Structure 1
Amino acid sequence: MTNPSGSYGDEPLVTVSVSGDDGSGNAGSYRIKAPAGASASSTRWIMPGETVDIGDLSIERGFFYVGDFRRARPGPVDACVVDTGAQVAQEGANPAADIGILPPAYTTLSAEERRTYLEWLASPRRKSDIHTRYLFLHLFGFERRVLLDGAAGRVSEAEYGEMTRELQRMLNLDADYSWQRHVRNLLEIIGLMTARTGKVYDQAPPNGSATGYQVPLNVRVAFGQAALDNHPVPAGWALAWVKLDPMMIRRAAVTRCPDEFDRVFVRRYRERFHEGMLVPVNRTRLNVLPQPAFKALQNVPLPGFLLGLPDVAAVTGPRNRLQLLMNESADALGAFSRYLGRNPEAYGSLEATLMLPPDVWPDATRDAIAALAAEVSGATRLTTFGALLSRFKVMGTLTRDKLASFNAALAQAGIAVEPDVRLGARTPKPDDAVALFVAPATSALAHTDDAYVVATLMVDLAAAVARADGAASAAEIALIEREIAAWSHLEPLQQTRLKARNLVQLQQAVSGAGLKKKLEPLPAAVKQAIACFLVQTANADGTVSREEVKLLEKIYRMLDLDPQRLYIDLHQGASAASGSGGVRAAGARRVAGAVKTGKVPKAGAHDARSTNEGFVLDTARIAALQQETARVSAILADVFVEEQPAVAVEASNAQDAVEPDEPEEVAPAPGALLGLDDAHSTFLRLLVSRPAWTRAELADAAADLELMLDGAIEQVNEASLDHWDEPLTDGDDPVEINQDLAQRLAA
């Protein structure tokens, strides 16, 4: 198939025939030969899909010129044209041998060298098959097509696209610097030519890394056009500048985690400049020089739309602003980059991902969170901590800081976790139960206060009582949830979290460690309200088991209540639920007596009329329990309003575990190191006292200073980076100390 766009005006096509599918059904190959009497040369650009036969060789891959110069003298720009009238040998020359001609031209090649070149054109065109000078001869054809035919408007956008793809493939055929530079230059020119009817800054920006010694031409043209038009520079072109400008100072994060850097930079660029940075028009004009390898094309005039543009690379203002933004973006990835530097195989793991800003997390992690959010949207989901982590790529054990970051990221997706280490909970073990429920999408922590902490104690104790006999009944669970819903002094989100907490605690034993210490500060009225709530829970299913009584006695002692009072409370609770006389009151007394002697009716009684088998909830009982719930809630609300209990809240706000606050700018205390506060200065002095530490040893040291270990190490390393551009520590267990920095500190 012939390509009309490849013709030169009215040049006759009398000596070259090109085959293809022209729609007539006459597809086939035609040998190129000069008819007798040819009086003028013919030059044609061959595109892929067209077949050219020269001697016994068929060439189908296109991207070269053919012509016949037996009756016409070739001009300087015809060095790249395959002369169909030139002699071709039956055997080629050594393809790896240097043809020794600068610049090479097809007509000056020997017959054997022409054979070698044509065989390469007919092959898949790999570098291993031919010397670099043959590659340049082939490149000359591309340059002529772009700079002559393209400038004259004879090349379509589709053809530019095909040439771009072929040149990108050819770029890595040879590592020779000159070859790569000229191919890249031509790709830039093609990019500019495709924008001849529009603006370069509206095109897709280039990608890659800095080469050479100046900003690529297409980037400077895009910035120059934006300056002239007073148009904001799009984020993609700003990113192209910082990545392709060889004058830019790039930190390790830019090259070590390029995808993450791109996303962080673009986000921060848009936050800072909104639609884009405005670039002033400076005086220096941009000198657009194609710099082709083909010498005959070096003085070809450029299209007018590339003339008169300001050269933004000649001023420092835009570059300095982009450098600052690049540094800030790299800083945001500092911890992630250093972690990958030590653990390159950890890329994509949850541990590494948690060091990234959530909005630049990998797509796989985002997809896993989205799937989890869809599952949780219907109802609270109860699972184990190990099962939750198995949905993500976890390489080892998550530290408390990383788990806090993980919970914060889930919170941003509208998924709340109970227990949450950010609210002071201990780090769950793989088999521990966790509840996931819907919450407003925010990274902010839920509000916690003394009232909420007391409520968590009540829920934990009630869950322990409910499951004391092996499993909580539906009636006990329903009562606890009704009680939570009636606590009007709590916020709705707090109530939702308490219900989730109840489900978790019903799945596993409640630890009694430190429970007495938490209960001691409570006022007497709150302790009595808790006792009343627990008795209600035990009575909820109509049967109080021996195990429930034993646990209630222990709790009464923790509450500084007389254990003997328990039996009165159980009797009164049963009476209140059963009515004021008759069979139920008598039954309640018998149950109380049985509880006291250890002979308690078994759970699961079904006949409400049989007092020997326990109690069964009915409508009157439910109403009575709801009234009792309201009474307890009123007591609690009054206490919380009139007298705030001095409850020690365990790390009720663990925001520091997610992102440490910036320290206030104060004058360093005497003895402070690297601008750190007293605690971290002491920790630093301790670190440099040894060449290496085990993690357990450092955990003890951090605990003595009331510091979180990972946060303390991170802060020390950040201070070290600010002063010396190197972290002080390396590794996780053992933690090794940079001895060069330790000596600098000692000096």
Structure 2
Amino acid sequence: MTNPSGSQGDEPLVTVPVSGDNGPDNAGSYRIKPPAGASVPASSTRWVMPGETVDIEDLPIGRGFFYVGDFRRGRPGPVDACVIDTGAQVAQEAADPAADIGIVPPGYATLSGEERRTYIEWLASPRRKPDIHTRYLFLHLFGFERRVLIDGAAGKVSEAEYGEMTRELQRMLNLDADYSWQRHVRNLLDFIDLMAARTGKVYDQKPPNGSATGYQVPLNVRVAFGQAALDRHPVPAGWALAWVKLDPMMIRRAAVARCPDEFDRVFMRRYRERFHEGMLVPVNRTRLNVLPQPAFKALQNVPLPGFLLGLPDVAAVTGPRNRLQLLMNESADALGAFSRYLARNPDAYGSLEATLMLPPEVWPDATRDAISALASEVADTTTVITFGALFARFKAMGTLTRDRMASFNAALSQAGIAVEPDVRLGARTPKPDDAVALFAAPATAALAHTDDAYVVATLMVDLAAAVATADGTASAAEIALIEREIDAWSHLEPLQQTRLKARNLVQLAQAASSAGLKKKLEPLPAGVKKAIACFLVQTANADGTVSREEVKLLEKIYRMLDLDPQRLYIDLHQGASAVSGPGGARAPGARRASVAVKPGERASKDAAPEARSAGAGLVLDTTRIAALQQETARVSAILADVFVEEQPAVPLEEASNARESVAPEDLEEPEEVVPAPDALLGLDDAHSTFLRLLVSRPSWTRAELADAAADLELMLDGAIEQVNEASLDHWDEPLTDGDDPVEINQDLAQRLAA
């Protein structure tokens, strides 16, 4: 007969049946000590890892993660309830796997032979939930808990094995939706993280990822913060992010869940900007309860490793959490437009339109790679392509609004890529067929300096390009002359000169509209108008031939400049003479100019002094221009109005569509807020935090609770009274009992957890 009582540490005894005087029915059992020197063999209990196959009752089990032993010559102790006893009877037929075994807590020794067969068959299977009742799952979980809390605490579990157990437990987590099952598996996963970091600091380990569950901040997060507080070590950004994502009492905007990857990057970046190496957390009075609370009752009082003792519970104070809440709100606000856009266009994730609503520092890698490749291509040359071709290099779903185009250009500028024309300088929003020039520029989001002199220079370049292409295609000589003149305008900054050259290439590739040109030229002083005319004549004469198309266009421009068109032919002939060298000899490689003159007309030998001086090489006298502009305030006002390209009128239908697609994400509307869990029992924030602490342990000393109340700036007796009143309102029972120690009603704690 086997004695069922006792524990593994009891003195070994032998039980011998003895017949009484009244026959075998009245036989008693007497415990007799074994003879001196005799010993009871220890059981062969051991942990089986995946990869090792164990045959139990003709069933090979190769998936591991269970204890096996033989208790035929010894007695199992309380912690051996999870061990498969190879000496125990197993039936040939299994019980219904979905039937409740009705044993709380379950143990292998207490199962019937049929139930043992059911459990062993499940262990030999892929171990999925539809095949087994939840109580069998808990029996299997007991083995994991023993391995971690006993063998792990003794240093018998390697880091690699912890990793294997973590992966298996994460798979098992969703085998059952039962709250108790999920809570105990999560608790064990948290404790595995702690045990894996037993030789160092938890805050130096990789922080957990996931979303908030239950009503407590996960144990490993609180340990990391507690260790950082004791060590006066800055809390790393990853652990701060883990707190805001895993604390169920945090209030979360919709962006946190709708665009989690972007939120993580924005939060981490802003956290480092705000706290640099990390936030310093003060040491508070409340001690952290690190008891693992396993489902296996026999393990509930196992001793804790020393590195988990004496830590402050940062969850007991509101200061650090409030700072993290504020930073989380700011990070979510930065993603508000992006989040709302995705809510309306869920398939737009990764598109250029969606990306442009993000802070540039968190753009997707694909967009960053495309920009980097583009920067390499334009590093040594100016590239002219259509906007549609540029657009095709990025994942785009439609046209960009003017604001989004400005954001796009700013992002390119930060990568050292300048765009001409640039909507930020007053250009209209390009269409897919419009030509744009890309060129290298200093990496900055700031715009190049512009003034009235630069605006006049853009007019001159546009007109010169129009003259050069009037007969079809600009010649190399005409292009070279325009670029030389731009280089000679020393009153402009180098970046302005580079942009003008890019502008010239765009205009040569696609002539600009002359709409509104007269209005822009009208307020210019007469001296500037004459200088523009001389520059255009030089351009027409650059290749030695002035075509009829060029003459026709020049006549039109002269009229816009309020210059006599008849004077054009004088200027053309004098411009042709400028192509030749001194004394009438032609410059090397130059052809004699041929001017298309109207029949019956002769060019005058006299030329205006301004034209002759300009023919020798155009120099824009900015001092003179400034003096003329300062003559009246009216001229300055006109220049400010006309030196910006007017936006084309938008049809009503197009404008309506634009408003529908653009306005919502640009409106200053508040970002949606994901409702936080209701305040516990309707209590305010401080008392809810106090309640969360209360139910984390079965009992408290009054001194411990006094420290917790002080951390929250609460009066202890008043806080307990308020919590109990809320409990009475909800459940007709108080939550606490006693004064010192203060006992916590575990039934109510379970209801709160559920």
What TM-score, normalized by structure 2, do the two folds share?
A: 0.77
C-alpha contact (below 8 Å) 1:401/1:711 kept by paired residues: no
Q: How does 1:255-654 map to 2 (within 5 A)?
A: 255-579=257-581, 591-592=594-595, 594-597=596-599, 631-636=617-622, 638-640=624-626, 643=629, 646=636, 648=639
For 1:120, the aligned partner's letter is W
The alpha carbon displacement at 1:652 in A equals 8.6
For 1:632, the aligned partner's letter is L
User: Deviations 1:686-714 (Å, cap 9, x if unpaired)?
Assistant: xxxxxxx9763597xx9xxxxxx988766
Helix, strand or coil at the partner of 1:405: helix
Distance 1:439 1:197, change over 3 A: same
Question: Which residue among 666, 670, 686 is the counterpart of 1:721?
Answer: 670
C-alpha contact (below 8 Å) 2:575/2:615 kept by paired residues: no
For 1:473, the aligned partner's letter is S
State the match for 2:88 in structure 1: 86
In the alignment, the residues of structure 1 paired with residue 192 and residue 469 of structure 2 have an alpha-carbon distance, to the nearest angstrom, of 75
Distance 1:582 1:312, change over 3 A: closer
C-alpha contact (below 8 Å) 1:423/1:652 kept by paired residues: no
The alpha carbon displacement at 1:595 in A equals 2.5
Helix, strand or coil at the partner of 1:102: coil
Question: Which residue among 47, 50, 59 is the counterpart of 2:61?
Answer: 59
User: Deviations 1:623-654 (Å, cap 9, x if unpaired)?
Assistant: xx999588422435542466467364579999
C-alpha contact (below 8 Å) 2:252/2:673 kept by paired residues: no
For 1:635, the aligned partner's letter is D
User: Deviations 1:523-552 (Å, cap 9, x if unpaired)?
Assistant: 111111111111010000000011111111
C-alpha contact (below 8 Å) 2:40/2:74 kept by paired residues: no
User: Deviations 1:556-614 (Å, cap 9, x if unpaired)?
Assistant: 111111111110000000012124666869x999834x4333999xxxxxxxxxxxxxx
In the alignment, the residues of structure 1 paired with residue 504 and residue 405 of structure 2 have an alpha-carbon distance, to the nearest angstrom, of 22
In the alignment, the residues of structure 2 paired with residue 489 and residue 629 of structure 1 have an alpha-carbon distance, to the nearest angstrom, of 20
Helix, strand or coil at the partner of 2:46: strand
Q: Which moved more, 1:328-337 or 1:108-117?
A: 108-117
What TM-score, normalized by structure 1, do the two folds share?
A: 0.78
C-alpha contact (below 8 Å) 1:529/1:636 kept by paired residues: no
Helix, strand or coil at the partner of 2:461: helix
For 1:54, the aligned partner's letter is I
Distance 1:199 1:599, change over 3 A: farther
What residue ranges of structure 2 are gaps of 5+ in the alignment? 1-7, 10-38, 603-610, 646-651, 675-754
Matched, 1:153 2:139: no
For 2:521, the aligned partner's letter is L
State the match for 2:692 in structure 1: none
In the alignment, the residues of structure 2 paired with residue 53 and residue 627 of structure 1 have an alpha-carbon distance, to the nearest angstrom, of 106
The alpha carbon displacement at 1:421 in A equals 0.7
C-alpha contact (below 8 Å) 2:546/2:593 kept by paired residues: no
The alpha carbon displacement at 1:418 in A equals 0.8
The alpha carbon displacement at 1:489 in A equals 0.8
Q: Which moved more, 1:536-545 or 1:118-127?
A: 118-127
In the alignment, the residues of structure 1 paired with residue 599 and residue 377 of structure 2 have an alpha-carbon distance, to the nearest angstrom, of 48
User: Deviations 1:457-505 (Å, cap 9, x if unpaired)?
Assistant: 1111111111110001111111111111111111111111111111111
In the alignment, the residues of structure 1 paired with residue 80 and residue 519 of structure 2 have an alpha-carbon distance, to the nearest angstrom, of 95
User: Deviations 1:174-197 (Å, cap 9, x if unpaired)?
Assistant: 222221111111111111111111
C-alpha contact (below 8 Å) 1:63/1:141 kept by paired residues: yes
Distance 1:430 1:313, change over 3 A: same
User: Deviations 1:45-88 (Å, cap 9, x if unpaired)?
Assistant: 01112121112211111111000112222111111111111122
Distance 1:628 1:386, change over 3 A: same
User: Deviations 1:176-235 (Å, cap 9, x if unpaired)?
Assistant: 222111111111111111111111110111100110101111111111111111110000
Helix, strand or coil at the partner of 2:395: coil
For 1:183, the aligned partner's letter is V
In the alignment, the residues of structure 2 paired with residue 641 and residue 493 of structure 1 have an alpha-carbon distance, to the nearest angstrom, of 25
Helix, strand or coil at the partner of 1:632: coil
For 1:542, the aligned partner's letter is G
In the alignment, the residues of structure 2 paired with residue 270 and residue 301 of structure 1 have an alpha-carbon distance, to the nearest angstrom, of 38
What residue ranges of structure 1 are gaps of 5+ in the alignment? 1-7, 10-36, 601-624, 655-692, 703-708, 727-747
Distance 1:653 1:159, change over 3 A: farther
In the alignment, the residues of structure 2 paired with residue 626 and residue 219 of structure 1 have an alpha-carbon distance, to the nearest angstrom, of 82
Aligned residue pairs, count: 617
Helix, strand or coil at the partner of 1:633: coil
Identity percentage over the alignment?
Answer: 82
In the alignment, the residues of structure 2 paired with residue 115 and residue 637 of structure 1 have an alpha-carbon distance, to the nearest angstrom, of 102
C-alpha contact (below 8 Å) 1:424/1:653 kept by paired residues: yes
Helix, strand or coil at the partner of 2:618: helix
C-alpha contact (below 8 Å) 1:104/1:137 kept by paired residues: yes
In the alignment, the residues of structure 2 paired with residue 202 and residue 652 of structure 1 have an alpha-carbon distance, to the nearest angstrom, of 59
Q: Which moved more, 1:372-381 or 1:310-319?
A: 372-381
Helix, strand or coil at the partner of 2:509: coil
The alpha carbon displacement at 1:140 in A equals 0.6
In the alignment, the residues of structure 2 paired with residue 580 and residue 242 of structure 1 have an alpha-carbon distance, to the nearest angstrom, of 80
Distance 1:599 1:88, change over 3 A: farther
Helix, strand or coil at the partner of 1:205: coil
In the alignment, the residues of structure 1 paired with residue 535 and residue 653 of structure 2 have an alpha-carbon distance, to the nearest angstrom, of 48
In the alignment, the residues of structure 1 paired with residue 129 and residue 612 of structure 2 have an alpha-carbon distance, to the nearest angstrom, of 85
In the alignment, the residues of structure 1 paired with residue 644 and residue 264 of structure 2 have an alpha-carbon distance, to the nearest angstrom, of 33
C-alpha contact (below 8 Å) 1:422/1:652 kept by paired residues: no
Helix, strand or coil at the partner of 1:53: strand
Distance 1:284 1:218, change over 3 A: same
Distance 1:653 1:536, change over 3 A: closer
Helix, strand or coil at the partner of 1:437: strand
In the alignment, the residues of structure 2 paired with residue 44 and residue 698 of structure 1 have an alpha-carbon distance, to the nearest angstrom, of 71
Q: Which moved more, 1:448-457 or 1:158-167?
A: 158-167
State the match for 2:119 in structure 1: 117
The alpha carbon displacement at 1:102 in A equals 1.7
C-alpha contact (below 8 Å) 2:574/2:612 kept by paired residues: no
User: Deviations 1:366-409 (Å, cap 9, x if unpaired)?
Assistant: 11111111111131111110011111111111111111111111
C-alpha contact (below 8 Å) 1:358/1:409 kept by paired residues: yes
For 2:153, the aligned partner's letter is A
